[in-house]
Structure 1
Amino acid sequence: MLTAISYKSKQFSLLLLKIGIVVGAFYLIYHKIFHNSAFSFSAFYRIISNSTSLSLISVIFLLLLSYFNWYFEILKWQTLVTAVSKISFKKAKAQSLGALTASLWTPNRIGEYGAKAMYYPTSLRSQIMLLNLVGNAAQMLVTSVFGGLGLIYFSLNFRPIFKYESMAIAGLGMLVTGVLIVWIMNANLFRKYFQSFQRLVNFITNIPKKTMVKSCTFSVARYLIFSHQFYLLLVLIGSELAYLETMSAISTMYLLASIVPSIFLFDVVVKGGIAITIFGMLGISQPVVLTVVTAMWILNVVLPSLIGSYHVLQFKLPKSEA
């Protein structure tokens, strides 16, 4: 009897949690679109509706780019998970989109780690979180490589003014942090934690090279898709900049945006502020930049998270956790 009551109580609590996540996601999206002082939906709609280049075909193509962006992300997750458990593309889709919806409240979508781990038994959760870290690291590596090249080209051609004092302070901070990490690793007090860290490193290094290569390949595919989607939106809304100039600005923007902490509620504001600064140097107006950033946010975050809401509601604890 007590076991039955405990089971029903757990299931009811899980149902409330799933409903809370979905309702919270819808509220965040609604608030961001219609009740945000930093964003005017009417201005966004006016610019989109006045664009003569936007057509049904171009909208469908933009939606297809979003589809393939997430298609490669789901493939990447399916590939990484094979290191501990084979899953179908359908399950990988449910986990990826469900985790997106569940992580909207969290800074830099860090809640995605715990959300994906919940799909697996307790014994596998630490490994699943590490695999998610590997996937995000692969995407960050690709963003850094393309962003670094774009930043060099952008700097040489547009001579942006950098605050070298701030860069020096940041570099000094990184050096001090590195020294502290080395000291901690050699301190007896932290030796057992360092051994745990070594086990984690060993797990990552034992991931098959083929899996790592595939993950990086899918990350490159994703980057090329969403960066060119941004470029296409700029062209459709009215930008007449040269391809290399625009792509260097886009890659610079994504590099800078990727290292600035943000939560979903302020994601568009953060990326919008960076984009306004970068594209302002190219003579693109603030309303146009904000419209493109918002359209990218709707296409690649809002729409997938709405689909993810279905997967959140369909979520069931693994058998060992039920």
Structure 2
Amino acid sequence: MYNSLSYKSKQFFWLIIKLSIVIGCGFFIWQRLTSNSEFHFFDFYQNLIKNNVFSTKNMLFLLISTFLNWFLEITKWETLASLCVKTSKKNATIQSLASLTTSLITPNRIGEYGAKAVYFDKSFRKQIVGLNLVGNFYQMIMTLFFGIIGFGYFVYNHNVSIDYHRVLRFLLLGIFIISAFFFGAKHFNYKGYSAEKARTFINRIPLKLNIKVAMISLLRFVVFSHQFYFLLLLFKIDISYLDAISAITTVYFISSIVPMLSLFDVVLKGTVAIWVFSFFNVEPLLILSVTTLMWIFNFVFPAIIGSYFVLTFKPNFVK
């Protein structure tokens, strides 16, 4: 009798969690689209009509680029997860999209780590979290690499005023924190986690797999940055390819180093993009329209699909 009640309690508990994730995700998406003081949905819609965004050709390109972006992300996760447990493309898709939905309401998408881990047996979960961290690390490296180049080009060509003393203090603080982490981690051991175990785990990842994950991350960056460029062209923004790419990489670079709740990512990127593209005399509404479309296609649509996978997820005790 007790076991039966416990089982039903767990089922009810998981149902509440899943519904909370999906409802919370939907609510915050709606809030982001309707409550921005600088962004009016009616003006945004009129902009889409005016620039023929809903034409078959344009929608096809946007959908294909979104599909390619997520196909690469799913392939990357399939490659990494299979190092631990053989994972099919189907399972990698479910795990990636469900974790996206879950992560949108968490700072810096940290919920993604736990969401992917629950799909695996308890004995593999630490490794899954580590592999997910590796995948995100390579994506961040690509963003920083191209971002630094683009930002350097942008600053050099547009005489951007920078407080170099503040930047230097920021860099020194970053170096101090990283150094303290690496030196302190040597003696860190908490509930089975230690620097030595982390190094052993990282060393187990084959060089070939590291290269493959890095290349997939590079392709993803190329895909979504050029989707952004396509939208600039779609909204008839007069800007050269080189200036556009430097501005786009600068937007992603600055956005990536600012911790924020993922659902506010569209606000952050919109704010940064308005500042960056102001040097090219681009209207704020046009840039907000571009960043909002990027968010809708690459986060909102996949998160809606992921909501289904969240609701249909069954933890081990009910399988």
Q: Which TM-score tier does this pair reach, normalised by the shorter chain?
A: over 0.9
Contact 1:103/1:110 (CA < 8 Å) preserved in 2?
yes
Report the equivalent of 2:284: 286
> Could you tell me how far apart the structure 2 residues matched to 1:21 and 1:181 are?
33
Q: What code does the residue aligned with 1:121 have?
A: D
1:195-245 Cα deviation digits (max 9, x unpaired)? 812211210121122221111111111111100000000100111211111
Contact 2:108/2:262 (CA < 8 Å) preserved in 1?
yes
Q: What code does the residue aligned with 1:268 have?
A: V
What is the Cα deviation at residue 20 of structure 1?
1.4
> Could you tell me how far apart the structure 1 residues matched to 2:247 and 2:35 are?
30
What is the Cα deviation at residue 185 of structure 1?
4.8
Report the equivalent of 1:13: 13
Q: What code does the residue aligned with 1:55 have?
A: S
> Can you give the 5+ residue segments of structure 2 that lack an aligned partner in the other structure?
none
> Could you tell me how far apart the structure 2 residues matched to 1:116 and 1:148 are?
31
Q: Map of 1:88-237 to 2, 5 A cutoff?
A: 88-181=88-181, 184-185=184-185, 190=187, 192=189, 196-237=194-235
- TM-score relative to the length of structure 1: 0.93
Contact 1:100/1:308 (CA < 8 Å) preserved in 2?
yes
Contact 1:54/1:237 (CA < 8 Å) preserved in 2?
no
Report the equivalent of 1:259: 257
What is the Cα deviation at residue 153 of structure 1?
2.0
Q: What code does the residue aligned with 1:114 have?
A: G
Report the equivalent of 1:37: 37
What is the Cα deviation at residue 191 of structure 1?
5.0
Report the equivalent of 1:296: 294
Q: What code does the residue aligned with 1:172 have?
A: L
> Could you tell me how far apart the structure 1 residues matched to 2:4 and 2:23 are?
29
> Can you give the 5+ residue segments of structure 1 that lack an aligned partner in the other structure?
none
What is the Cα deviation at residue 175 of structure 1?
3.5
Report the equivalent of 1:71: 71
- The change in CA–CA distance for 1:195 and 1:225 in structure 2 (over 3 A counts) is closer
Q: Which of 289, 311, 314 lines up with 2:309 in the alignment? A: 311
> Could you tell me how far apart the structure 1 residues matched to 2:162 and 2:121 are?
48
- The change in CA–CA distance for 1:170 and 1:123 in structure 2 (over 3 A counts) is same
Contact 2:185/2:195 (CA < 8 Å) preserved in 1?
no
1:98-124 Cα deviation digits (max 9, x unpaired)? 000011110111111111111112111
Contact 2:188/2:195 (CA < 8 Å) preserved in 1?
no
Q: What code does the residue aligned with 1:292 have?
A: V
What is the Cα deviation at residue 54 of structure 1?
5.8
> Could you tell me how far apart the structure 1 residues matched to 2:223 and 2:49 are?
24
What is the Cα deviation at residue 39 of structure 1?
2.6
Q: What code does the residue aligned with 2:210 have?
A: M
> Could you tell me how far apart the structure 2 residues matched to 1:212 and 1:315 are?
30
Residue correspondences, number: 318
> Could you tell me how far apart the structure 2 residues matched to 1:303 and 1:280 are?
29
- The change in CA–CA distance for 1:53 and 1:18 in structure 2 (over 3 A counts) is closer
> Could you tell me how far apart the structure 2 residues matched to 1:7 and 1:182 are?
44
Contact 1:54/1:236 (CA < 8 Å) preserved in 2?
no
Runs of 4+ in 1 over 4 A off after TM superposition: none
Q: What code does the residue aligned with 2:162 have?
A: F
Q: CA RMSD in A?
A: 1.9
> Could you tell me how far apart the structure 2 residues matched to 1:251 and 1:174 are?
21
1:12-63 Cα deviation digits (max 9, x unpaired)? 2111211111111111111221233343111211211111576221111111
Percent identical: 42
Contact 1:94/1:311 (CA < 8 Å) preserved in 2?
yes
Q: Which moved more, 1:85-94 or 1:201-210?
A: 201-210
Q: Map of 1:44-63 to 2, 5 A cutoff?
A: 44-52=44-52, 55-63=55-63
